[in-house]
A and B are shown apart, each in its own frame.
Chain A
Amino acid sequence: MTTNAQAPAKLYYEDVQVGDELPRLVKGPVTHLQLVRYAGASGDFNPLHTDPKIGEALGIGGIIAHGMLIMGFVGQLLSDYVGPTALRKFNARFKGMTRIGDEISCTGTITEKYEADGEARIAGKLQAADQNGDVKVTGTFVAALPHRA
């Protein structure tokens, strides 16, 4: 495991306790334009996410967001909290479909602190849910943090 010594510290190991909550991030509302833009940026051009006729033909009632867009929202939660280069593992399970107009609330809780591969690490669980509390994504992450000198 390579430690990225060049990355700036956003957070120190000593500052995090099991049970701490990550600062909540609210994203959206998701727009059709955002899905078109996300399709172009990611390269996932499945028309299910951009063409309302396809969603209607499949009987799911219009277009649904890319699951990876919602994982991206949760990625922003982590990026804001520990910084992208601190991440060692990031997992997302897709639990529900997100539609145009949904507002997505991303939350997380620290579940573990430990040393591994010569690094001080924190682990946590993650969730993204809409304005009605319907869960879209659950996940976990591991990040390496520096010790406070």
Chain B
Amino acid sequence: MVKLLKYMFLNINSIVLFMRLCLLSGALAAPASHAQWPYEVPFVPSPQVVVDEMLRLANVTKDDFVMDLGSGDGRILITAAHKFGARGTGVDLDESLIAQSEENARAANVTERVQFLRQDLFKTDFSKASVITMYLLPGVNMRLRPSLLALKPGTRIVAHDFDLGDWQPDVKVTIRKNVMLWIVPAKIQGRWRLQLPLPAGAQTWDMDIRQKHQEIDGVVRVADRPPAGLWQASLRGDRVSFVLVDNTDRENEANMYFEGVVRDGVMEGEFRRGVGNVQTRHKWRATRTGTAP
């Protein structure tokens, strides 16, 4: 059984390798869209432009540690080190590609900052990464997804062509190919106790949040009143924002615009309240009190 799984896995990887080789030779170089245009495409760009786009979309800097899953000839990591100043590790199963990557890294003079490991992706620990790059098959992406979602909130994942199923990318651009960015969301589903100072006096409300990947919604429960919805609720890495309508006093109705950071069961930040260009700013804080709404 173990042997069979291993065999299947190697097979998937050889397909990935085949696709990579196709890409290198330009055989897959059809334009991603614009197919309806009645022109030939005589200028066939090489995927280096896509590599650049992935690293740019992830906003890679010298402070990043990039892990390239299925690193092939090493071009993504070498570009990240050479042009963006990052450090990183590439992981691939193919020994000859690892050797070639090391040779390419020497040629680009970045051996100090990158290393290539011949290793099974599913046995690789990538908790050290601040950026993950990958170009794998959909099935492999989906098998990796639980480990990716478990990474530190704020970790950026970039891929092209193949997505992560119903985990929607935070950003998608089409430049030669579809390039997608995901930001690992904090886990905030559950009940929180929201404390905030309102003009009418300090308030403590229960806030229930539902979450699917980075999509969130929720309600605030106040005694004797119908639950108030969280509007425009958004989660990006460890940054959360939402709007509550304070209509306790109809003549003085105002929206409250919350922004904050989530860390270790605490959300805190500032909210703006009031109308016009002179809003007041107040601190807010929420602490986790339960896991299921």
On whether the two chains bind one another, the answer is no
